[in-house]
Amino acid sequence: MSVTETAAWKALEDHAAMMQNTHLRDLFLADSSDKKRFDELSLSHEHLLLDFSKQRITQNTLTLLKALADNCQLNDWKARLFNGDHINTSEDRPALHTALRQPEDSHLALANHNIIGDVHANLAHMASMVERIHAGQWRGYSGLPIDTIVNIGVGGSDLGPLMACKALSDAQPPEGHQLKMHFVSSMDGSQIADLLDRLVPTTTLFIISSKSFTTIDTLSNANTARQWLKSASGVKTELLNRRHFIGISASAEKMNQWGIPENSQLNFWDWTGGRYSMWSAIGLPIALRIGMQGFKAMLSGAHAMDEHFKTAPFEENLPVRLGMIGIWNINFLNIHAHAILPYDGRLSHLPAYLEQLEMESNGKSVSRQGEAIGYSTCPILWGEIGPNAQHAFYQLLHQGSESVMCDFIAPARRYDDFNNKGLQQQHQLSLANCLAQSRLLALGDAAIAGNDTAPIHKRYRGNQPSTTVLLDELNPYSFGQLIALYEHKVFVQSVIWDINPFDQWGVELGKKMATDLLKPLENEPSYSSFDSSTEGLLNAILNKQEPGQ
Ligand SMILES: O=P(O)(O)OC[C@H]1O[C@H](O)[C@H](O)[C@@H](O)[C@@H]1O
């Protein structure tokens, strides 16, 4: 039976029909005498506080959402996730990113083997590499110590480390050892071409990050890097492979084939999904940036969120509430756009990270039973640093025709250690804007006395729901909590929608099609015929590429 046929779903539909004309303004007005809405609807755990009071919900909504979660056996699914059941059914494997942050003395058996031992052996290998590089003992072909790292990867092998290195940029690496870090992902070569112009071959180390080690984007960038080193050094490829490349993958065989020596390889496992992999060896750039201790603090923060998700009751559970309110917005209030708005420049890559995490996980319309789904799943998610977005797309949030749900994310404290009043004031300014925007989006004109008589083009209708995620401060631990919070939120929603969030078949066919299209572009005979648009464009490109045209 489809979830939409259940009594729990229908009760929520009825409730939504009643709530349809209730403005957030009314919900706050009803609360104006005792001002309890915030206390009743916000939740906190350790360093995170989530304010849900600007969501279009009442206590009754939460009760009905709990009935839906129970009906969908959310608690059983949580147990299956943590126990390592093969819940990624289309690939017949578990999804065990949570095991990557389990403490060393814990235990998780997969086919009678304790994988936590493997996880920590891997961390130790990673730590030894980090130590060598930080100590200046990893030397390039000319004997000079490495001082520049380039991570080559894409999707899950890029976005997590990229986001984390920026988010934790205030964290000091051990002994002040500052490596220059760069990230290359795009297949068109523009990032690597730009970098190679500026980098010094003797002191640059490339990390080739790819779960499959077959991703053409990554391998083509890696080949370009090796070619650059060859031309600059004139030394043998074998020496370059040894001194200038680290490989991170679930396939040792593929790394061997490319030429990465065994002791420069870091492995992880097929039960770690690409977009859930920054906690594995894929996180090496993070450890290089903030040190192994910082990396482990990030794992501990995520583990604390795992434990909270696993054990806290529905009424207190942050990821469960975040996920279920998303369900309410999407499936019952018909809101299909979701903006991620961090009020801290260090979180500038969070929107791109969540775009992959949410849309690649839950952007699906087939159920676990292989049936077409007749209800909405993952919304369109996008975002930008809040203060910059205010000068760009907030116009649409305030006066456009679309309902949009927003996540405002900010640390309460920043620049405590900076003896700079100007910076401290900038942080307060950013917080003031964060609070102002979520208030205006919720209440509309009612937030500003007198604006309700303004001409219509100056009016704000409000009623855009938002959640504010407040961190005490942004550090490796709270950052780990924050990302694990979103991972589990995505899982909660997948359970309600009855979909597998751990595969991504929708990205495969495009890759195959690109292989077919490369032939005519490289002037090789192609036996495929294409549609008229593709053929027209191919011909136009080929004509323009002919010399003298
Ligand atoms: O890590 P890799 O195997 O190179 O994969 C990199 C990325 O590419 C794929 O196309 C998937 O859509 C992503 O989930 C994955 O993270």
pLDDT of residue 549: 46
pTM of the model: 0.97
In the set 358, 360, 384, 487, the catalytic residue is 360
Unique residue bearing structure tokens 């998700």: 309
Distance CA 57, CA 52 (A): 8
Which atom of ligand 1 lies at the shortest distance from residue 159's CA? 16
Cα of 437 from ligand 1 centre, angstroms = 36
In the set 113, 391, 457, 544, the catalytic residue is 391
Distance CA 387, CA 344 (A): 9
How much is the CA Rg of the chain, to the nearest whole Å?
A: 25
In this structure, are strands 245-249 and 204-209 parallel, antiparallel, or unpaired? parallel
Query: Which pairs count as long-range contacts for 81-85, CB under 8 Å and 24+ apart, including other chains?
Result: 81/491, 82/306, 82/310, 83/108, 84/108, 84/109, 84/110, 84/115, 84/271
Q: Give the pLDDT of the chain (549 residues) as one tens digit per residue.
A: 899 999 999 999 999 999 999 999 999 998 878 889 999 999 999 999 999 999 999 999 999 999 999 999 999 999 999 999 999 999 999 999 999 999 999 999 999 999 999 999 999 999 999 999 999 999 999 999 999 999 999 999 999 999 999 999 988 777 767 899 999 999 999 999 999 999 999 999 999 999 999 999 999 999 999 999 999 999 999 999 999 999 999 999 999 999 999 999 999 999 999 999 999 999 999 999 999 999 999 999 999 999 999 999 999 999 999 999 999 999 999 999 999 999 999 999 999 999 999 999 999 999 999 999 999 999 999 999 999 999 999 999 999 999 999 999 999 999 988 788 899 999 999 999 999 999 999 999 877 777 778 889 989 999 999 999 999 999 999 999 999 999 999 999 999 999 999 999 999 999 989 999 999 999 888 888 999 999 999 999 999 987 654
Distance CA 370, CA 394 (A): 39
For 301, phi and psi rounded to 5 degrees? Answer: -60, -45
DSSP 292-355: HHHHHHHHHHHHHHHHHHHHS-GGG-HHHHHHHHHHIIIIIS---EEEEEESSGGGTTHHHHHI
Name the E strands within 202-243.
204-209
DSSP 504: -
Q: How many CB atoms lie within 10 A of CB 528?
A: 10
153: CB partners within 8 A, 6+ apart: 161, 183, 185, 207, 208, 209, 210, 218, 248, 282
Cα of 502 from ligand 1 centre, angstroms = 12
To the query of whether residue 360 is one of the catalytic residues in this protein, the response is yes
pLDDT of residue 176: 60
Tokens of 49: 């506080």
pLDDT of residue 548: 52
Q: Which residue is closest in CA terms to ligand 1's atom 16?
A: 156
Q: Residue 433 is inside which H or E element, if any?
A: helix 421-443
Query: Residue 249: CB within 6 Å of ligand 1?
Result: no
CA distances from residue 340 to 362, 378, 381, 401 in whole angstroms, order as listed: 17, 14, 7, 19
To the query of whether residue 391 is one of the catalytic residues in this protein, the response is yes
- Residue 344 sits at the vertex; the CA angle it makes with 338 and 345, to the nearest 5 degrees, is 100
Query: Residue 321: CB within 6 Å of ligand 1?
Result: no
